[in-house]
Amino acid sequence: MVVKARKVAAHEAAVQRTYCLAPGEYERLKAFQGGVCALCQRANGATRNLSVDHDHATGKVRGLLCRPCNNTLGHARDAVAFFVRGINYLNDSPYDQMRRQS
């Protein structure tokens, strides 16, 4: 139990130092998000803490994400157009478009 408490305290100190969060703010944000990743709403941080997502240009914290969702945002370089293309792709795939032209 001591090891778990130490890990929780170390994580709290790290997010406070790195993202300028106030004490307890990580847990408050997690509770505000329903205890899950803000994007997929599946991952709950039970195995690995949710990542603090932030705007790299401003440093502004946006929310908590699981590793795959955080990596997806990074891969997209925060470009909204990337996600619009993804929505369009899922709604009307190139294969479906091609079949309609045949």
Residue 72 has a pLDDT of 96
CATH code given to domain 2-101? 3.40.1800.10
Q: In sequence order, what E strands does 16-93 have?
A: 51-54, 61-65
Q: How far apart are CA 82 and CA 13, in angstroms?
A: 34
Q: Model pTM?
A: 0.89
Residue 102 has a pLDDT of 83
DSSP state letter for 15:
H
Per-domain residue ranges for the chain?
2-101
Write out the chain's pLDDT in tens, 102 residues. Answer: 789 899 999 999 999 999 999 999 999 999 999 999 999 999 999 999 999 999 989 999 999 999 999 999 999 999 999 999 999 999 999 999 999 998
